[in-house]
Structure 1
Amino acid sequence: MDCPRTSRSLSSAPIAPKDTIRAGSRRPGSRQRRDAQTSPRINRRRAMPSSSPKRHAMTALAEAKTNKKVAAAPSDDAQTALNKNLSKEFFFAIVGAVGAGSSFVSKALLGALDDAGITEVFPIKASDAIKRWATESAREIPPARAGDIKTIEDVVMMQNLGDEMRSSSPDFASVAMGIVKEIRRARAEDLGVDPNTDDPIDPGQKRRVFVIDSLRHPSEVYALRRLYGAAFALIGVVTDEDTREERLANKYFVGPARKRPESKGAIKTLMDRDEKDKVHKYGQHVQGAFELADFYLDNSNDGAEGNKDEHIGGALRRLVGIVFARDVAPPRPTIAETAMYQAHAAKLRSACMSRQVGASLVDDEGNLVSTGTNEVPKSGGGVYGQAFEQTVDHRCMYRPGAVCSNNVGQNDIIAEVIDGIPDILLGLEALAKQRGEPFDKAAAIKTLQSEMRRSRIGGLLEFSRSVHAEMDALLAAGRTGATTAGTRLFVTTFPCHYCARHIVAAGVKEVQFIEPYPKSKALSLHRDAIKTSADLAAHARLAKEHAGQVVEAQLKGTGKVAAPPPEPLDDPKAPKVLFRPFVGVGPRMYARAFFKDRELKDGYSGVLDLATQPPWGSAWQKSQVSYAKDEAAMVGGLATP
């Protein structure tokens, strides 16, 4: 008596006509009808007429179930479908100020990759992309010289060409586009296909690593990071200014010419332009690109002896191990990397309209003492944004008529100067008349304001309402009764001279930073209390030279040394505060570098097992296809399984 029960179950089942079946699905055919006719439920009954409502309903149900199964069943599970489309290519790029040794680091990275058994590596030079663009657009390029020797004029010519190339695109990313062309060309040659095609040059499943030397503008970083996503990592190379200047002098000048004022002037101009073009937005802006790095290296002492893991080769081998997860136990973060990550997290809390800065204060064991952010102070202690329930918010961004108070203060000074010295405008007006040009007073004032803002007036800090991040961290420690003596301060930007004096007074023994801050006068004002990593390197060089002179004198039997040993950097009873650049995994990379994304032990024995792979692909892989194609690979049609 189950026929009535079957009829009731079919009362709500829609019967789709054959001509409305979804495109791409299997049409109901003889096999499906046979399945319906040989169903055990149906076979137990006598044959019903084909026109029977019961027979028609039961056949339709069987066909609907079969169609649903065929249309919706994917060939793979989601994990397999997505992993099939993951690329095995990876893209390293390097950024560093002129003289920092970006090319040296690039070659060292090639060695680290080779040590890891990764042999399909393709060096890509941004200068090649610029030269190719210049040649194709009939522009002059530096001449080829014997031994690949370059002059400082060659470097300036390449700077000019790079600027011109960037200016050809409104987003200043033309050099990045040229780099992508070089990457496509290298991949095409490896695959043996035409590099000039407009079609995609699919990477397939082959492991390739591209090393890009080097980027000079934030737009180049943004473009390549957006394009290659998780498969892109930027290495920032830092070197102290004195060392860079010395390297450039040795590279581009010979003998006594290195010390001439005109040589030093040419090098200083080159370095300033490279760091930040103050006139053109499309110019060299290495400083802005550097702070976007994922991993930081200090190349101030690239020939240093001692523990290899503290220097370039060891650092790059560690980076390669992090990215490619070779068959070794995955590295863990250093205290410095964790502290800088905490500083970065504090930075992101800031609502300051000018810049975001974060700081973290840690003790010798790496325990977090306090954090700080540049933010407007609130009554009762601390800054806005710290309360679990924010009832009022008087930060500049959220006040009526939101405006940066520091800009207002600077503009007031500029207006006061212009109003107080009317001869400036009178002189400009007379000059315009002399040239036979119309004089636009409003435009002249705007030009004066812009020029004055580029002066030290634009570097004034005292009109900001915000407590600086370093000060917020020190005050937070004080409010909770924690000592700041003997602590280390990690800050995302080099401290200004206001903060430096308080850092010294608070007894902090070391400061590490990522982003330089040229406006800071900390070193010139507090040389008696602050030393830098550059000072340590210079002192080590002098000590080494003196030791060599002593040995030479002993060998000659004279016992006389030309120069005395270098003066100690510190008073042992009152050592100076060390300011040095941060090195290691940067905050941008921290989470994906150290997140446990795979099993590391055998589930039964508990023994370390490094053979497993991340089941959903690693954090360093990018899909070769669009997410729309990945969707189709995952679920196919619209039917519900």
Structure 2
Amino acid sequence: MAVSCNDDERKRRLRGLGYTDAEIDVVDKEEYGKLDATNQKAYVKQDIKACLQRADLHVSNPDSGNMVSHFNSLADQLLTFVALMIRPGLVTPTPLERCMQIAYTAKLNSGCISRQVGAVVTDVNFSVQSVGWNDTPFGQVPCSLRNRFDLTNGHDQDAYSEYEKLDVKFISAALAGNEKFLKVASTGRNISYCFKDEYNQLTGKDNQVHTRSLHAEENAFLQIAKYGGRGVEDGKLFTTASPCELCSKKAYQLGIKEIYYIDPYPGIAMSHILMGGSKNPKLIIFSGAIGRAFHNLYSPKLSFKDELNALSL
């Protein structure tokens, strides 16, 4: 289970507990930073990002504007979950859960070796117009199916770009990097690699633009254009992460009015792009069940008709 609130509220609560902004930054880097698998502490410290990605029950815990009770929204969500645990299928999924479940399922199609993200675009009535996940453009081989040794040995050449095959500096760096994976390769694992990381290491930069994959939200938007879908102005976007700066601009241009997200993007997409102008969409942290919890909570153990007939005997 993941319990979330928006970032401004989170920081305000931490300040209320006596944390300074500098201390909050330290906590964020420790608990939400990039995982260093070579550091033993990485396996015992808090990993908020992984929690958000793996959780199948999401509870939104925003600051309440209700002066009578500060916990009405939180209590409603928890009571719903408990009731469904006691009596699976008591109610049907909400439109929000239904759409986010589709996005959650879609992300499993991703061949990205860093993280998997799914997205769904609907019209104003929650009718699904397109589905997307972060992956390479159609016709290119996903990173999960490529192998750094195939690249340097000249195998499966259609899987690699002209730059990867012909740039002398890149090939030299790839050959040097192969050394540390020889032991892993002997286990039979496919030795994939992230082009963005390799290129950034080679150039000494940290640029996200060199990723091979489309973002999930971007992919969902493009599917509408590719297959001639209906307009989505005033529609909704569901994402198992949250839109980056570039995807946020696309969502704004399409006239998306509500964005439901799970994992806040570590950038200025929300405050700078989505909250600037006269047609700002609503940003809403998702709450509900997805994944295994979705099926466990909403699948009745016995059809209600059969249950009533059995109880009437």
TM-score by length of 2: 0.74
1:324-473 map, 5 Å: 324-325=86-87, 330-377=90-137, 383-384=138-139, 394-399=141-146, 400-401=150-151, 402-414=192-204, 457-458=205-206, 460-473=207-220
Deviation at 1:499, TM superposition (A): 0.9
1:116-265 map, 5 Å: 235-252=1-18, 263-265=20-22
Q: d(CA) in 1 for partners of 2:111 and 2:34?
A: 27
Cα–Cα, structure 1 residues 269 and 610, in superposed 2: closer, same or farther, change >3 Å? farther
| DSSP 3-state at the match of 1:347 | helix
Q: d(CA) in 2 for partners of 1:597 and 1:375?
A: 37
Aligned to 1:275: 32
Deviation at 1:309, TM superposition (A): 10
Residue of 69, 74, 80 corresponding to 1:318: 80
Q: 8 Å contact 1:276–1:283 — kept in the other structure? A: no
Q: d(CA) in 2 for partners of 1:302 and 1:347?
A: 32
Residue of 522, 528, 537 corresponding to 2:269: 522
Q: 8 Å contact 1:308–1:314 — kept in the other structure? A: no
Q: 8 Å contact 1:309–1:315 — kept in the other structure? A: no
Q: 8 Å contact 1:304–1:311 — kept in the other structure? A: no
| DSSP 3-state at the match of 1:493 | coil
Q: d(CA) in 2 for partners of 1:311 and 1:468?
A: 32
Deviation at 1:322, TM superposition (A): 0.8
| DSSP 3-state at the match of 1:297 | strand
Cα–Cα, structure 1 residues 482 and 362, in superposed 2: closer, same or farther, change >3 Å? same
What percentage of aligned pairs have identical amino acids?
25
Deviation at 1:593, TM superposition (A): 1.6
Deviation at 1:245, TM superposition (A): 2.5
The amino acid across from 1:526 in the alignment is I
| DSSP 3-state at the match of 1:515 | coil
Q: d(CA) in 1 for partners of 2:246 and 2:310?
A: 50
Cα–Cα, structure 1 residues 488 and 348, in superposed 2: closer, same or farther, change >3 Å? same
Q: d(CA) in 2 for partners of 1:470 and 1:284?
A: 28
Q: d(CA) in 2 for partners of 1:336 and 1:306?
A: 27
Cα–Cα, structure 1 residues 243 and 397, in superposed 2: closer, same or farther, change >3 Å? closer
Q: d(CA) in 1 for partners of 2:248 and 2:274?
A: 11
Cα–Cα, structure 1 residues 309 and 315, in superposed 2: closer, same or farther, change >3 Å? farther
TM-score by length of 1: 0.38
| DSSP 3-state at the match of 1:371 | strand
Higher RCO structure, 1 or 2 (CA under 8 Å, sep 6+)? 2
Larger radius of gyration: 1
Cα–Cα, structure 1 residues 240 and 524, in superposed 2: closer, same or farther, change >3 Å? closer
**1:157-185 per-position Cα deviation (integer Å, ceiling 9, x unaligned):** xxxxxxxxxxxxxxxxxxxxxxxxxxxxx
| DSSP 3-state at the match of 2:55 | coil
- Which sections of structure 2, spanning at least 5 residues, go unmatched? 152-191
Deviation at 1:611, TM superposition (A): 5.3
Q: 8 Å contact 2:104–2:240 — kept in the other structure? A: yes
1:602-613 map, 5 Å: 602=306, 608=308
Cα–Cα, structure 1 residues 527 and 495, in superposed 2: closer, same or farther, change >3 Å? closer
The amino acid across from 1:505 in the alignment is Q
Cα–Cα, structure 1 residues 310 and 508, in superposed 2: closer, same or farther, change >3 Å? farther
The amino acid across from 1:339 in the alignment is C
The amino acid across from 1:598 in the alignment is L
Aligned to 1:304: 66
Q: 8 Å contact 1:494–1:513 — kept in the other structure? A: yes
| DSSP 3-state at the match of 1:247 | helix
The amino acid across from 2:234 in the alignment is G
| DSSP 3-state at the match of 1:311 | helix
| DSSP 3-state at the match of 1:407 | helix
Q: d(CA) in 1 for partners of 2:34 and 2:196?
A: 23
Residue of 48, 69, 73 corresponding to 1:286: 48
| DSSP 3-state at the match of 1:348 | helix
The yes-or-no answer on 1:513 pairing with 2:279 is: no
Deviation at 1:502, TM superposition (A): 0.9
Cα–Cα, structure 1 residues 287 and 375, in superposed 2: closer, same or farther, change >3 Å? closer
Aligned to 1:504: 252
Deviation at 1:599, TM superposition (A): 2.6
Residue of 485, 488, 509 corresponding to 2:236: 488
- Which sections of structure 1, spanning at least 5 residues, go unmatched? 1-234, 254-262, 378-382, 385-392, 415-456, 530-570, 613-641
Residue of 575, 578, 583 corresponding to 2:282: 578
Q: d(CA) in 1 for partners of 2:10 and 2:74?
A: 16
Q: 8 Å contact 2:6–2:285 — kept in the other structure? A: no
Cα–Cα, structure 1 residues 332 and 305, in superposed 2: closer, same or farther, change >3 Å? farther
Aligned to 1:477: 224
Cα–Cα, structure 1 residues 310 and 483, in superposed 2: closer, same or farther, change >3 Å? farther
Residue of 591, 594, 598 corresponding to 2:298: 594
Cα–Cα, structure 1 residues 524 and 250, in superposed 2: closer, same or farther, change >3 Å? closer
Q: 8 Å contact 1:294–1:587 — kept in the other structure? A: yes
Deviation at 1:308, TM superposition (A): 9.8
Q: d(CA) in 2 for partners of 1:277 and 1:355?
A: 12
Q: 8 Å contact 2:110–2:135 — kept in the other structure? A: yes
The amino acid across from 1:241 in the alignment is D
Q: d(CA) in 1 for partners of 2:70 and 2:21?
A: 33
Q: d(CA) in 2 for partners of 1:360 and 1:292?
A: 18
**1:448-486 per-position Cα deviation (integer Å, ceiling 9, x unaligned):** xxxxxxxxx44x221122111111111111222321211
Cα–Cα, structure 1 residues 476 and 407, in superposed 2: closer, same or farther, change >3 Å? same
Deviation at 1:310, TM superposition (A): 6.7
Deviation at 1:579, TM superposition (A): 2.0
**1:321-374 per-position Cα deviation (integer Å, ceiling 9, x unaligned):** 111118xx7011011101001111111111122221111111222211110111
